[in-house]
């Protein structure tokens, strides 16, 4: 939170997005690039391993949280990575209060933290997903190959 306060004092626009990012693929990278282009700083909140298991089942995540975080931080557009244990990052978003909250269009029906961000004048945006990319579909294709 100290870093968020510094960015605010510096007048930087902070963008926040979240997800499992279980198997980093081109769809993830493009969404992160789009999100980063909306501000000066991009924070990516990753579901913890326990949170991913609750959402995706016992065979997930494929890559453990520390390794997912390290891969995400290696991307030029990602300035900070944090983990959250809950099913949604609502509490974390309420703490960070980003200027822009971004989610993939597949979540337009429910964006955790929307109310908190909009209450302080922030923007909530959805970005189109890259067709043909999803970790679930990639795993299915890999396991159904002869």
Residues 6+ apart with CB under 8 A from 96: 1, 4, 14, 16, 43
Q: At 21, which CATH number? A: 3.40.50.620
> Is 111 a domain residue?
no
For residue range 46-75, list pLDDT tens digits in order. 999 999 999 999 999 999 999 999 999 999
Range of the domain at 59: 2-106+135-143
pLDDT of residue 41: 98
Dig out the tokens for 66 from the structure. Answer: 């520390």
Q: What's the pTM?
A: 0.91
């Amino acid at each position: 939170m100290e870093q968020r306060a510094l960015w605010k004092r510096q007048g930087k626009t902070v963008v926040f997005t979240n997800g499992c990012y279980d198997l980093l693929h081109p769809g993830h990278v493009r969404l992160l690039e789009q999100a980063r282009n909306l501000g000066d700083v991009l924070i990516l909140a990753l579901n913890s391993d326990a949170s991913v298991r609750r959402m995706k089942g016992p065979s997930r995540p494929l890559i453990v949280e520390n390794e997912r975080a390290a891969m995400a931080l290696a991307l030029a557009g990602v300035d900070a990575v944090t983990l959250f244990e809950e099913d949604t990052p609502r509490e974390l978003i309420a703490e960070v209060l980003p200027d822009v909250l971004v989610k993939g269009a597949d979540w337009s029906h429910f964006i955790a933290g929307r109310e908190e961000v909009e209450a302080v004048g922030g923007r909530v945006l959805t970005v189109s997903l890259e067709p043909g990319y999803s970790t679930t579909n990639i795993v299915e294709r890999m396991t159904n190959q002869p």
